[in-house]
Structure 1
Amino acid sequence: MMPPEIFDRIARRRLRERVLRYPVEDRWIIARMAQDILDRLDAVLTPFRKALVIGGNPAGLCDALSARKISSVRADLAIASDNSAARTICDEDRLPFADSTFDLVVAVGTLDTVSDLPGALVLIQRILSDNGLFIGAMMGAGSLPFLRSCLQQPSGGAPVAARFHPQIDVRGAGDLLARAHFSLPVAESEMVSARYRTFDRLVDDLRANGLTNCLAQRVPLKKADYAHVSAQFSEPVVEQFSIVTLTGWARPRK
């Protein structure tokens, strides 16, 4: 049985294309995820030669891998204008690569909006060579608590669930890694806070980092709802982003 299409694939593509139109400095959440992945790689003694970077080339990640003598291929729904790496347009749950193609796979900021995340993780495990490493970072449960609170009782009675997709917590992320047969599965979370003076500035950050709504059955934010949330920013607001990082090793194939 095919899993349900929770997310709109066309909307996801447009979301990714919009991300690439923002200056790199506005994509600070993605950049934070990418730098954390690099820091984790620097702590691993295993040498890597060929990596798949899922989520484009955030914050020059492919260049940083190249500096570490790791060649890279990009897999994303959108195409960047630079020529820093080979690229393939695809969804994360439809990766068109042969088994054991890469010894490293990193995913930055997109896995939380994949309709078939368990299937995507299985594919990642398959395209890794024996003892290859996977590191993925995404937004997790607990993100945007202030905004969620503001939209609990929006005008018109639209349900909050139609504006926020279900997000995975650390325990669930670890379970998914184990179900995909990764060895030494580890899931961790970090809460990052940011201060906003206006709702418009928060929305701009969400758009720049690909964190806006792409549900298949999404409910658009009406003008009255937008005004209602904007009014809550009469004073600077601290919003929180939960970053969940998944790490796992591919099991040797018999």
Structure 2
Amino acid sequence: MATPPHMALFERHAVRLHRNRAAALLDDHDFLFVEVADRLTERLDDVKRDFPLALDIGCHGGEVARSLTQGDHRRGNIETLIQCDPSPAMAQKAANGEHSLSFAADEEFLPIKPESFDLVLSNLSLHWANDLTGALVQIRQSLKPDGLFLAAMLGEGTLQELRTALMAAEIEIEMGMSPRVSPYATVQDLGGLLQRAGFAMPVVDTETITVSYPDIFKLMHDLRGMGETGAVSGRRKTFTRKDTLMRAAEIYVEKFAGQDDCGEGRIPATFDIIYLTAWSPHPDQQKPLQPGSAQTSLTQVLGDA
């Protein structure tokens, strides 16, 4: 998914500006970041290791930092958490923990020394990277040997209802369409990218979170409040026409209202969450057997059937 600079899929300065704008009132809209941060950091409970120094890439308002501390228990036994975000306002908002530090940095240009961290986390941020392979390589290089990488990203099914409604309305009203919702990666894409970036033992899995809304306008208000509005290169820079937006609201209800047990008169918004788990290579890690090296044949297992 590496994208040449002249073909950048996203306008990174727009991503930064959207997050800067959202930072002040993020607490009113951060429910998805909070929920996924909890689900992401829970995975550390199954890893019997200590991670003294950790990095949170794309930290937003510090949801991962808060999730790592459950009462007196600190998941991963993390002594120091360093947080970074492309938005200076978000990085400043996240800088409120006793055991954490924060700074502004772009995920695609991390100012990190090689082999610095025991653990790197990222919660719903890397889907904005133009050069995702390059970002993953930098993350792998920043990890100590046998260091752990845990991330959550938005996947291809995210906001499929909103995409459908806006596309249909724009075609009907304006006889054309422009990019409205970001394209997202697939599970297959990300598994291959982790391997290309040099990670060992990569695992990719997915789950769906469906959020219920009274109408399309509340959904779009939340997306703006999260700093997750469109930053696709080539998108229309002017406001959406009122008649197009009203028609999109009608289409959304016609096609999707009442689905996914969201309640009568309400509409669902789908968020496809993809989780990445991988390790920085180390000579002592378990490795797959070479072809032909198995000690047990299929005949012994299956019999003569």
Flag the 1:60–1:112 CA change in 2: closer, same or farther, 3 A: closer
Flag the 1:145–1:63 CA change in 2: closer, same or farther, 3 A: closer
Contact 2:159 2:269 in 1 (8 A): yes
How many residue pairs get matched? 253
Task: Among all aligned residue pairs of Structure 1 and Structure 2, give the percentage whose two residues are the same amino acid.
Answer: 30
Cα distance between partner residues in 1 of 2:60 and 2:125: 12
Alignment of 1:247 with 2:277, yes or no, is yes
Contact 1:197 1:237 in 2 (8 A): yes
- Deviation string for 1:73-112 (max 9, x for gaps)? 1110123334322222111110010100111000111111
For the residue of structure 2 that corresponds to 1:94, the secondary structure is: coil
- 1:225 is displaced (CA, Å) by 2.0
Cα distance between partner residues in 1 of 2:144 and 2:102: 20
Flag the 1:34–1:64 CA change in 2: closer, same or farther, 3 A: closer
- 1:2 is displaced (CA, Å) by 4.2
Stretches of structure 2 that go unaligned for 5 or more consecutive residues are 254-264, 285-305
Contact 1:20 1:80 in 2 (8 A): no
- Deviation string for 1:143-171 (max 9, x for gaps)? 112111112231323435x1122211111
- 1:61 is displaced (CA, Å) by 2.2
Paired residues for 1:69-218 under 5 Å:
69-70=77-78, 71-78=80-87, 79-81=91-93, 82-84=95-97, 85-153=100-168, 154=170, 155-160=173-178, 162-218=179-235
For the residue of structure 1 that corresponds to 2:25, the secondary structure is: coil
TM-score of the superposed pair, with normalisation by structure 1: 0.91
Cα distance between partner residues in 2 of 1:200 and 1:90: 32
Q: Which amino acid aligns with 2:125?
A: T
Flag the 1:106–1:211 CA change in 2: closer, same or farther, 3 A: same
Q: Which amino acid aligns with 2:57?
A: I
Alignment of 1:34 with 2:43, yes or no, is no
TM-score of the superposed pair, with normalisation by structure 2: 0.77
- 1:245 is displaced (CA, Å) by 0.9
Cα distance between partner residues in 2 of 1:233 and 1:159: 17
Structure 1 window deviating more from structure 2 (27-36 vs 228-237): it is 228-237
Q: Which amino acid aligns with 2:159?
A: L
- 1:209 is displaced (CA, Å) by 2.9
Q: Which amino acid aligns with 2:174?
A: G
- Deviation string for 1:198-227 (max 9, x for gaps)? 111111222233321011221253322212
Flag the 1:48–1:239 CA change in 2: closer, same or farther, 3 A: same
For the residue of structure 1 that corresponds to 2:112, the secondary structure is: coil
- 1:25 is displaced (CA, Å) by 5.0
Stretches of structure 1 that go unaligned for 5 or more consecutive residues are none
- Deviation string for 1:7-45 (max 9, x for gaps)? 112111012223322343521111121101110011111
